[in-house]
Structures are given as structure tokens and as C-alpha cells.
Structure 1
Amino acid sequence: MNNDADIITNLEDLETFLISIENGGFGLTNVAGIALATSNKDGRRFVAVLDDKHQLLLSRWVTEEVFQTGQDLVRNGPSRTTH
């Protein structure tokens, strides 16, 4: 998993991350979906960027609050289209 310094702590940062993914800001190819998930190892929450075979391409830790309140944002996508 990514560095703890990259943890997403609020919905604005989550939205910015989602927009960056949509705009190709991380140089990822074959992105098929984004999901909020829980680590089996330690129970920490994260946002996962997945390819069409459900393989993890990129992830960022999120706080419990972002996990609970950001589900609609991840499910429906960001309302902004640019940053």
C-alpha cells in the first residue's frame, strides 16, 4: 500500500483523487473501476483503482470518516469535472 503520508482525510481530497484518475493524471491504463475497500491484513480502509480483471492498479489509504461518508462520491463519481 502507499505511503501513510498520502492518506485521504476529507471528501474534497477524495474528489480530487477521483478526478485525477478520470483525467489520466496518474498515467494508468485500463482503469475499469474505483472502490472503497478494507484491508484484510489490518482492517484499514482504502480507495482502490481497479482494472477490468479487478486487479489493483493504485490505492490510497482513507480515514474511517471518508470511508463512511465518501461511498456515494465513489459510487456516483465526482460532480466537478476539472480541478
Structure 2
Amino acid sequence: MKFDESVIDNLEELENFLRLVESGGLGLKNAAGVALATNNADGRHFVAVLDDKHQLLLGRWVTEEVYENGKDLVRNGPKKKLH
């Protein structure tokens, strides 16, 4: 499991991250899904890339605004494709 300490602070950056996950651009093996979640220890929100057993492969912190407004984007996937 890897946790990237950089913070996604806008929806465009979240969309770019989701496209990278979908395209395999992050080199993650066995990636099966993406979810927004909250860290139980400190309440910070993050986007989680999960494997087929729902184990965390990669996490990136997100701001409160991205957490609240990015739910549909995570649920439905990015609209634009990578060129």
C-alpha cells in the first residue's frame, strides 16, 4: 500500500488522477475500484484506489471541497479521456 502525501485540491486534478488510474498510468497492479473515504484516526478525506479484495493500493488526500463535490465524479468516472 502506498499513500501519496500530496493533496488534490480541485476537481480538475481529481479528474486527472481518475483518468490516470483508469488508463493504468500509475502502474498499479490489480486496481479494481476508486472510492472517497475518511481516515478514522484524524478525519481527513482521501481518494482510495482499491484492489479486487477492497484493499488499499494507493491513497491521495483531498480537500473538504473536493470530497464534497467530487462524489459524482468518483462514482461515474471522468468524462474526458486522456489524449
- TM-score scaled to structure 2, two decimals? 0.94
Residue number in structure 1 paired with 2:4: 2
Between the aligned partners of 2:4 and 2:22, the Cα distance in structure 1 is 19
- For structure 1, the residue ranges without an aligned partner over 5 or more in a row are none
Residue number in structure 2 paired with 1:77: 77
- 1:2 Cα deviation from its structure 2 partner: 2.4
Residue number in structure 2 paired with 1:25: 25
Between the aligned partners of 1:43 and 1:16, the Cα distance in structure 2 is 24
Q: Given the alignment of the two structures, is residue 64 of structure 1 paired with residue 58 of structure 2, yes or no?
A: no
- TM-score scaled to structure 1, two decimals? 0.94
Between the aligned partners of 2:19 and 2:4, the Cα distance in structure 1 is 19
Between the aligned partners of 1:21 and 1:33, the Cα distance in structure 2 is 9
Between the aligned partners of 1:65 and 1:49, the Cα distance in structure 2 is 19
**Runs in 1 of length 4+ with deviation above 3 angstroms?**
none
- 1:81 Cα deviation from its structure 2 partner: 1.0
- 1:44 Cα deviation from its structure 2 partner: 0.1
* Residues matched between the structures, number: 81
